Chains A and B, each alone.
Chain A
Amino acid sequence: MSTKPAANGRDFPDILAGGVLIFLGALGLWAGRDLTYGTPAMMGPGFLPKSLCGIIALIGAIVLIKAWSKPHEALDAVNPKPLLILVAAIAGFAFAAERFGFVAATIWLLVVGSLADPESRWKEIFISTAVLTTLGALLFVYGLGVQMPIWPF
């Protein structure tokens, strides 16, 4: 698309996209390896999943190959720290929700989750966690009737 000479170009977002698509296509093919394919007239459960996973991997390969000769395009700055902290916060919530109840799960989620923003201050975290946990319990568990214990015991 661009006429700029791009000898050492490489479109990095596209390389990533191609890699992700190939990986997911292959993963899908592996996960569905036991499904029968069938014929067009009598499609088996594996007909569309397998065909589509093949197409996904193929598209990934095309994107990847084309990315090599495209003009240079840098990846946006990657700062995985907030994401990792969020993952820890949500994982804790998922684990604690059924076992220890709303209050414990929510306090973990909000305190750990708030650390994802370096600008957070402990005082603010303390206040917002207290407010949100109370409001959340009232709104979700009492108000909307979400089936989750409130206290760990």
Chain B
Amino acid sequence: MAFLDVLMLGFSEALTPTNLMFCFIGALLGTLIGVLPGIGPTATVAILLPVTFFLPPLGALIMLAGIFYGAQYGGSTTAILVNLPGEASAVVTAIDGYQMARKGRAGAALAIAALGSFFAGTVATIALAIAGPTLSAFALSFGPAEYVALCIFGLLAATILAHGSVVKAIGMVCLGLVLGMVGIDVNSGSARMTFGSTELYDGIDFVVIAVGLFGIAEIATNLESKEIRGVLQSKIGRLWPTREEFKDSWAAVLRGTGVGTILGVLPGGGATLSAFSAYSVEKRISKTPEKFGHGAIAGVAGPEAANNAGAQASFIPLLTLGIPSNSIMAMMLGAMTIHGITPGPSVIQNQPELFWGLVASMWLGNAMLLVINLPLIGLWVKLLQIPYRLMYPAILLFCCVGVYSVSNRGFDVALVILFGILGYVLRKARCEPGPLLLGFVLGPLLETNLRRAMLLSQGDWLVFFERPISAFLLVITAAMLLTLILPTIRKNRKAAFEASED
């Protein structure tokens, strides 16, 4: 069977000692930063991007992916034990998980969270393995017009599903697109928006923007206010859930996995959105909704399964279409570009060992996480005691040396300052920097294809509506924008995100 063959190929790649090691490092680092508040997976991946330049391509991707899904595990540990969600996606887990911990059932909550996540991770990995070849075969027939439509759909859908104001997010996307155009224009050879600086002729490096917006700006905002430190409420208790708890949670895990896998694929989706949606699904479906908020195990199981499934499913659009759906996927795209790989439908065909190796490593990584997390919980909790003032100098050093190493020049480090300040101001203005990053990575793809499509059609904009796939994508995009103007949906969306801001 072809399917088994490629899976074998994947596992043979993922099981080499070096790749196993990178998988382990990624999962471990992910758990670590998931546990520690004040540093998230986006910032970590941004900071480690330059380091991956020194690693083999597959090893680099395996490690970065491990950080992403590892953080989902780690984030839930602190959410349950100290009511301090390490990651945004674990915010809902804290609601019921912490209540369970106060009742002495922390062990069961942690075990269900870990087992649910493992199950969800497995399912999402299988979904990726199945969807990958199908979607990419479909995408191979895409012409320039389809790619333009796909980019626009991806970018706008990401702004709509993401947090906060849509208008501002669209502004951020455009800003990212413009930043992606700085440097020498490949078609005409003229220098664009370089302010006369020859250092900018090659464009702004992705690492500079990512480290500035997510690394430096995050340190600055973290240092502004006093540190919040959690207090361990109770003993962890027996790990193994009771029969009743098990009965209450397995269906929730299944539903959460489904919700997460579907939402993860959507642009702007991913772990956080999946977790919130799964929680509201569980609450609506439950026979005892009044228990939610007071330690309902389904309220832990559903979202935990969903955030992990969502995290992994968000790899699907990146690996099959080359379109990242959130800022972490944009970073993965950046990592692939550093190694000269263009993500998209051709990866599965030309570099099957890369695609299948990554898929297999995700499953292995999830299995490792189970081992890293459950027996070692005590150790992770101890780490919470480390004050931020001892952590951030190391982060700062990683940021600066990392950026320097991209082209071995101080200029890039100086440029990081500008983006750090920009990131800080944008945070104050409540603009999410994620869409900016998406715009930045998709800018060149969008521009090349737009120029090509318009050249082929001799300047006729209708070409985007004459080709069925591109027309379909654009109509969906327009419909999404329209529904946003309708008052009822706007209210629901606002309510959903307001709940998430608590």
Tell me the A residues contacting B by CB distance below 8 Å.
Answer: 1, 13-14, 16-17, 20-21, 24, 28, 31-32, 35-36, 39-46, 48-49, 52-53, 55-56, 59-60, 62-63, 75-79, 82-83, 86-87, 89-91, 93-98, 105-106, 109-110, 113-114, 116-117, 119-120, 124, 128-129, 132, 136, 140, 144-148
Neighbour of A20 across the interface among B185, B426, B454, CB < 8 A: B426
Contact status A117-B223, CB under 8 Å: yes
**B113 interface hit (Cβ, 8 Å):** no
CA A144 – CA B390 in complex, angstroms?
A: 24
| Complex Cα gap A140–B424 (Å) | 28
B390 proximity list for chain A (CB < 8 A) = 124, 128
Q: Which B residues touch A106, using CB under 8 A?
A: 397, 401
Chain A residues whose C-beta falls within 8 Å of the C-beta of B216 in the assembled complex: 86, 90
Which residues of the other chain, B, contact A82 by a CB distance below 8 angstroms?
Answer: 219-220, 223-224
Q: Contact check, B425 vs A20: say whether CB atoms are below 8 A apart.
A: yes
Interface residues of B in 412-426 (CB under 8 A from A): 413-414, 416-417, 420-421, 424-426
Further contacts, 12 of them, CB under 8 A, given A124-B389, A144-B54:
A14-B165, A14-B429, A17-B171, A21-B175, A32-B193, A40-B459, A52-B177, A59-B167, A59-B171, A86-B216, A90-B416, A95-B414
Chain A residue numbers with a CB within 8 Å of B480 are: none
Q: Provide the B422-457 mask, 1 if CB < 8 A to any CB of A, else 0.
A: 001110111100000000000000010011001101
Q: Does B494 contact A (CB under 8 A)?
A: yes
- B416: A residues at CB distance < 8 A: 90, 94
Interchain CB contact under 8 A, A59 and B219: no
Query: Would you call A41 and B454 a contact (CB within 8 A)?
Result: yes
CA distance A114 to B175 in the complex (A): 32
Which of A28, A124, A136 neighbours the largest number of chain B CB atoms within 10 Å of its CB? A28
A117-B175 Cα distance, complex, nearest whole Å: 32
Q: Please name all residues of chain B whose beta carbon is closer than 8 Å to the beta carbon of A55 when the two chains form the complex.
A: 174
- For residue B379, CB closer than 8 A to chain A, the reply is no
> Do A86 and B396 have beta carbons less than 8 Å apart?
yes
5 interchain pairs, CB-CB under 8 A: A16-B425, A45-B188, A90-B417, A93-B410, A93-B413
* Residue pair A91, B417 in contact (C-beta under 8 Å): yes
Residue B246 interfacial (CB < 8 Å) = no
Q: Please tell me if the beta carbons of B410 and A97 are within 8 angstroms of each other in the complex.
A: yes
Residues in A with CB closer than 8 Å to B458 are 41
- 8 closest A-B pairs by CB: A41-B459, A94-B413, A17-B429, A82-B223, A40-B459, A45-B185, A59-B171, A31-B193
Q: Which residues of the other chain, B, contact A136 by a CB distance below 8 angstroms?
A: 397, 401
Pick the residue among A20, A75, A77, A146 that contacts B405 (CB under 8 A).
A146
- Whether the Cβ atoms of B388 and A117 lie closer than 8 Å is yes
Q: List the B residue with the shortest CB-CB distance to A96.
A: B410
Which of B388, B405, B430 is within 8 Å of A13, CB to CB?
B430
**With A97-B410, A128-B393 as given contacts, are A17 and B431 in contact (CB-CB < 8 Å)?**
yes
Contact with B455, one of A24, A41, A48, A119 (Cβ below 8 angstroms): A41
B419: min CB distance to chain A, Å = 11
Assess whether B192 is in contact with A110, with CB atoms less than 8 Å apart. no
Q: A36–B190 Cα gap in the complex (Å)?
A: 10
Which residues of chain A are within 8 angstroms of B388 by Cβ–Cβ distance?
A: 117
CB-CB < 8 A to B171: which residues of A? 17, 21, 56, 59-60, 63
CA of A95 to CA of B410 in the docked complex: distance in angstroms?
A: 6
